[in-house]
Chains A and B, each alone.
Chain A
Amino acid sequence: MAGQHKISVRDMNVWFSDKQVIHSLNIDIPSNEIISVLGPANSGITTLLRSLNRLSDLNPAMRVEGEILLDGNNIRDVSVTELRRKVGMVFDVPTPLPISIFDNIAYGPRLSGTKNMKNLTGIVEQSLREAALWDDVKDRLYTPAMSLSGGQQQRLCIARVLALKPEVILLDRPCSGLDPLSTAKIEESLKNLKAQFTIIIAPHNVQQASRVSDHIAFMLMGHLVEHGTAEKILTNPKDQRTNDYLTGRFG
């Protein structure tokens, strides 16, 4: 049963200090597909994503209860660094570290002990190609990553996650500050990547969700309202609230 799903979330409750931000959430996420977690601000989507790679551990006020299974194994049972290498994350603003493009991509592999320069060069090139950034930066790998444009920086962040050889990629509104052309490029890369990875994205609007998703989950105020195939949710949602959100009545 669990084997078919990449990630299974069971009875997840999350508190931020005294405030409950996610209420008894259950969801199965299939492999090699793009699932969008859609909803207005403060729905608990970021919290959900950050719980999946235990980045929530960094915040002492955050308490996560319930089970999260990755390939059937509880994520609390593996080492947190190993988990984060398997479940990579791209943030809502581009976050290049203030080092060169090469060093940004090589950051993860180096942490896990890859020192050989030939191997690193290979990983960097492959990751940048997969993120469709190689042609833009191949002649200036050793220049500061901060000098790239916003869209390039975000693709750099995707490449940096790919360099980890992850199994799951979380993207938290990755295009929220980007122009339409950069957004299109990133969406294109995501579609190419889903053959190898399971992708969970918080899209920045309904249109993006409809463009990239195989599955869509709709969240509202910490509750998972419904989820299903993109086609079903977009054309025939069961819940009135989902329908209202999709048609722009709120949110």
Chain B
Amino acid sequence: MMKGSSRVTENIIKTLIWAAALSVLTVLVVIIAYILIRGLPVISWQFLTEIPRNMGRSGGISSTIVGTLMVTLVAIVIATPFGIGTAFYLAEYTRRDSMVTRVIRFSAESLAGIPSIVYGLFGFIFFVKYLGMGWSVLSGGLTLAIMILPTIIRTSEEAILAVPNLYREVSYSLGGTKWQTIVKTVLPSAIRGIANGVILSVGRCVAETAAVVLTAGSALRMTTSLTSPTRTMAVHFYILASEAISFENAYGTAALLIILIFLINVVANTLINRFIAKGR
């Protein structure tokens, strides 16, 4: 009797868990499929290479692709060294329960919970107005860098802490200094986790709208420098749809955005497997 009922419970729970996983997968597939089905027919060579004309009703989206890549690049180049540096400080140079560590960790966690529009507002007031950088790739990139910093810090710190302590002891016992131990043993072992955090952040930068529209602007012409304004694909999509300019081109942009994020993930993972994680 007991045995029978516990098996029934087991099966019910198994079914529920399956159902949960299946419904999540379904929603995901439906959304992506819907966007691709409506967006892919719009994508053509012309769509990729021409700048938007007539507010985006016609022409392509080349300037927004360039804008997206530039803003993201600036954000990643700035946030990665600071984020990884902070993570190493937290994990290797202070005791886990020290006051400094707790303050930094608390700040990082608080930063992670702030809505992106608040970063946008801050970036607008500080970079665009106060520092006089105007709507520009640089303002947008800096704002995004602050936004993704907590993600990079936390994922990197977790990756560093996951490196077995034995590896550090071995390195020290072979005459390694702290710095040599970090560079030659801890970093290579943690690099995959760190890289995953950076890739996650790239995705967030590419997809961000609110923080970017307030800091990088929404100019449609091709960006020529870090100080000129630009429009990212996500912003373009948002404006096309919200101002009912062209749903057709909005879906085209969205489809391309999905493909871009997918490509970034595939390329980054291939690079990690090929070069960094070799022999591990």
Contacts and interface: CB of A to CB of B under 8 A. Distances in A.
Nearest to A90: B173
A108 B174 contact: yes
A91 B169 contact: yes
B279 A58 contact: no
B169 A58 contact: yes
B177 to A, nearest CB: 6
B280 to A, nearest CB: 5
B30 interface: no
**Interface SS, B side:** helix
B176 A111 contact: yes
A215 interface: no
B175 A84 contact: yes
B246 interface: no
A107 B171 contact: yes
A53 B280 CA distance: 29
A65 interface: no
A9 B96 CA distance: 34
B167 interface: yes
B165 to A, nearest CB: 9
A82 interface: yes
B169 A107 contact: no
B270 to A, nearest CB: 20
Given A60-B95, A99-B280, A81 B176 contact: yes
Of B167, B175, B279, which is in contact with the most chain A CB atoms at under 10 Å from its CB?
Answer: B175
Given A85-B175, A108-B175, A95 B180 contact: no
Contact of A97 (B95, B170, B172, B180): B170
B265 interface: no
Interface of B: 95, 166-177, 180, 184-185, 188-189, 279-280
14 contacts: A88-B173, A88-B174, A89-B173, A91-B173, A95-B169, A99-B188, A99-B279, A100-B279, A111-B174, A111-B175, A111-B177, A111-B184, A144-B280, A161-B174
Given A84-B172, A108-B174, 18 more contacts: A55-B172, A81-B175, A81-B177, A82-B175, A84-B173, A88-B173, A88-B174, A91-B166, A91-B170, A99-B188, A100-B279, A107-B174, A111-B175, A111-B177, A111-B180, A144-B280, A160-B174, A164-B174
Q: Which 3 A-B pairs have the closest CB atoms?
A: A85-B175, A108-B174, A89-B173
